Structure 1
């Protein structure tokens, strides 16, 4: 049962978190390309791209809730819920979710609304979003490394 839970946990991570990290990283440059210049309205294609990236982030963030659920089930089955590396991973996962929910998604929504309203988008807003997205991605990368190179690993690696 542990192997099935671990497989589901890893698959959920790849399927859910991967698209969020990629789409969130693509969002700020897409906004810069779509931003109206000299009073021009953004093209429907550019606006559509930004809207699609935001939707991917929102939908897959919801799907991403399965990652910690399968993670807790796997940790319980392995008897490692009290291990330091796992507690650290849980804290970093919570921090990543917090950054996504508190900073990335709301800022994306704000920038998308500005584009839809044909309002100017300040470069600093996209830079701040890119920074928040980078922090989110760095937190997930750290969790991934902890999951692979966990202290006391039985893999012998």
Structure 2
């Protein structure tokens, strides 16, 4: 059962988090380049981020189930990964998605995109991506693991 849960957890991470990471990274430059009347690509990138953020909820759920099955819920690397995952989710919900909506609204209102807002969005997106990269490394390396990795 552990191998099935771990496989589902990894697949969910690849399928859900990958698209959010890529679409969120593409959003700021696409918004800066978009003409006020051409919001199709920017709107699509925002929709991808929203939909896959919801799908991404399966990643920690499967992660908790996997960790419980493996008996590692109290491990330091896992607790750190959980905290970083919570931080990444918080940044996505509190900063990335709202700023995407703000920039999209500016474009739909036929205004130009505020460059400072786009730069802040790019910064928050970078932090979000860095947190996920760190979680990924922790999941692979697992300090103190008995697997020899």
Pairwise TM-score range, normalised by the shorter structure: over 0.9
- 1:6-155 to 2 correspondences below 5 Å: 6-36=6-36, 42-43=37-38, 47-155=39-147
Aligned residues: 149
Question: How many Å separate the matches in 2 of 1:54 and 1:115?
Answer: 13
Question: How many Å separate the matches in 2 of 1:154 and 1:59?
Answer: 37
Kindly indicate whether the alpha-carbon contact (under 8 Å) linking 2:96 and 2:124 is maintained by their aligned counterparts in 1. yes
Question: How many Å separate the matches in 2 of 1:5 and 1:92?
Answer: 21
> What is the CA-CA distance between 1:156 and the residue it aligns to?
1.5
Q: 3-state DSSP class of the match of 1:61?
A: helix
Point out the structure with max Rg over C-alpha.
1
Q: Deviations over 1:128-155 (max 9, x none)?
A: 0000000000000000000000012233
**What TM-score results when the alignment is normalised by the length of structure 1?**
0.93
Q: Deviations over 1:96-150 (max 9, x none)?
A: 0000000000000010011011012221111000000000000000000000000
Q: CA RMSD in A?
A: 0.8
**What TM-score results when the alignment is normalised by the length of structure 2?**
0.97
Instruction: Specify every segment of 5 or more residues in structure 2 that has no aligned partner in the other structure, as ranges.
Output: none
Match of 1:39 in 2: none
Instruction: Specify every segment of 5 or more residues in structure 1 that has no aligned partner in the other structure, as ranges.
Output: 37-41
Kindly indicate whether the alpha-carbon contact (under 8 Å) linking 2:103 and 2:114 is maintained by their aligned counterparts in 1. no
Q: Deviations over 1:51-98 (max 9, x none)?
A: 000000000000000000000000000000000000000000000000
Question: How many Å separate the matches in 1 of 2:28 and 2:61?
Answer: 30
